[in-house]
Amino acid sequence: MRLLTIDSREVGGRPGVLLDSGEILDLAAAPNTLSESQWIPYSVVSVLAAGQDGLERIARLVASVRRTTGAARERLVSEGVLLPYAATELLAPVRRPGLILVIGADSSAHMKSPNSSVGNNVSVSIPSNIEDQLTGAGMLGAVIGRSLYQASPDEAAAAIAGYTLMIDLSLPEPAANAPLGEWQRYWESKQFPGACPIGPAIITKDELSDPGELEATVRINDVEVGVGSLCSGSMSIAERLARVSRRFSFRPGDLLVVECSAENVGRPRSLSIGDEFTLNLPQLMELSVILT
């Protein structure tokens, strides 16, 4: 299942599901007559927090839509219940995560501000003080579906609801012995509005159980610049989540983002104003950002 958040008049957006047909089912707009469970969620986080029961209810709703044909289906389109993916603006799949925690292979961690998150295929205005040094790196995010603190690897694995993509925009990382002021400027450069594109969807574990087996591609202006795994290293994402949960607590909708150490896909790339940075998981999802 691919959960996403539709940009709408509501501040938090509207939860949706990307169907095999290429359409988006607006879960908040779906009439009760479609729902076998009579449960319509009003955010992606509410779906995640409901756990397996919530996903099963949404699956039944999706199955109901698939069975709808003819005039009844045309009515769903005309009423805006079914939307075309290409023409629908999306927010980050979790509109405003409570925590976006980025961890390295050595379990070092830093945070991105929730206010820096944006959705797919957006134009991001780069602050003038960093535009000539900007870099972008593609990463994989695990989306948390239940509260978690000081967890075992098995508990951490069970808490992961699905996976999404993230692009980290910032200044280049300073040398280890750089002055404190350079490090402070580096951390601050990660927090501007739009510095954290996320999405376009959360792919739940029933569809993507082991993202470490997948190869991603990075493109800049449609030119491929890297191919490789977004989950390199000896520890699984669940093991990393368990380790970092000794210091941080997590709630539904939070993101644990994994820095990729692989030179071919994970390293930060120099970017300029006007560039388009694209991170792609073939056959699954693609996240792009345009720099202005």
> Domain check: are 21 and 84 in the same one?
yes
Same domain as 7, residue 137: no
Claim to verify: residue 66 and residue 148 sit in the same structural domain? no
Segments forming the whole domain that contains residue 232: 96-291
Q: How buried is 282 (Cβ within 10 angstroms: 0-12 exposed, 13-18 middle, 19+ buried)?
A: exposed
Task: Tell me how many degrees the CA angle 30-34-36 measures, rounded to the nearest 5.
Answer: 120
Q: What's residue 260's pLDDT?
A: 78
pLDDT for position 106: 67
Residue by residue, pLDDT tens for the chain (292 residues) are 999 999 977 667 899 999 999 999 998 887 655 555 566 788 899 898 888 888 888 888 888 888 889 998 999 999 889 999 999 999 999 988 999 999 976 667 889 999 999 999 999 999 999 999 999 999 999 999 999 999 999 999 999 999 999 999 999 999 989 999 999 999 999 999 999 999 999 999 989 888 877 889 999 999 999 988 887 666 789 999 999 999 999 999 999 998 876 666 778 999 999 999 999 998 899 999 999 9
Distance CA 9, CA 26 (A): 13
* Residue that the structure tokens 């509260």 belong to: 147
Say if residue 81 is in the same domain as residue 104: no
Q: Verify that 166 and 272 share a domain, yes or no.
A: yes
- Same domain? 105 vs 82: no
Of the candidates 245, 240, 283, the residue with the CA atom closest to the CA atom of residue 260: 240
Which pLDDT score is estimated for 213? Answer: 73
Exposure string for 182-198, b = 16+ CB within 10 A, e = fewer: eeebbeebbebebbbbb
Instruction: Provide the token pair at 218.
Output: 């990075």
Q: Which of 90, 118, 146 is the last residue of a domain?
A: 90
- Secondary structure E strands in the chain: 2-6, 14-18, 23-26, 82-84, 90-91, 100-103, 109-112, 117-118, 122-124, 135-144, 160-170, 196-204, 215-220, 223-229, 255-258, 269-270, 276-281, 285-291
Please tell me the pTM assigned to this model: 0.92
102 with 140, same domain: the answer is yes
Separate counts of helices (H) and strands (E) for the chain: 6, 18
DSSP 243: H
Judgement on whether residues 197 and 79 belong to the same structural domain of the protein: no
Count structural domains, the chain: 2
**pLDDT at residue 55 in the model:** 87
**pLDDT score recorded for residue 202:** 97
State the pLDDT at residue 150: 97
Cβ atoms within 10 Å, residue 29: 18
* Pair (143, 214) in one structural domain: yes
pLDDT at 35: 53
Question: Within 10 Å of residue 123's Cβ, how many Cβ atoms?
Answer: 11
